[in-house]
Amino acid sequence: MSLEGLRAWIGEVERKLGMRTRVFLVLSVIALGGAGAAIYLAIDARESSVSESDVQALQERLETQIAAGGAGTIPTTPEEPAEPETPEPAPQPEGGGTGKTGSTGAAGDASAEEGANGAAAVPNNVSPKLRRLLEQTKKKADQLEAEEAGN
């Protein structure tokens, strides 16, 4: 073998090795970024998740509300922060009276009025997951009431 051929072969091996090194470094950076994003999302999910005690407290509140005749508001607990709200103008009845509609919870959170389907609106300070759970529980309670009324 000639010295020229060995130099060409070594140069080719060096280029391949350099390319592999760069590809490995890029993949390592991508993997580290993905791991960092996964850790961030896991921490965020843990902080914003609904605990089992939250679900149980919500179930107890709903049972209390259903037992009380399905009042339009959800009783609040002291651990829930009360949000300051701007007063909404009361709707004026067409008959010219001065009666007000709607009610507020014990901590002064948003008023819950009856919707078109008869379900109570969820206060604005409830997290989206808790809101979905509340709506699902309300639907299930309505179904159970309908079944009991039918029997």
129, 49 Cβ separation under 8 angstroms: yes
- Tens-binned pLDDT, residue by residue, of the chain (151 aa): 688 999 999 999 999 999 999 999 999 999 999 999 999 999 988 888 888 888 888 899 988 888 887 555 555 554 555 455 555 555 555 554 444 444 444 444 443 444 444 445 556 666 788 888 888 888 888 888 888 888 6
Q: The pTM is what?
A: 0.35
Q: In Å, how far are 26, 77, 151 from 60, measured between CA atoms?
A: 53, 12, 25
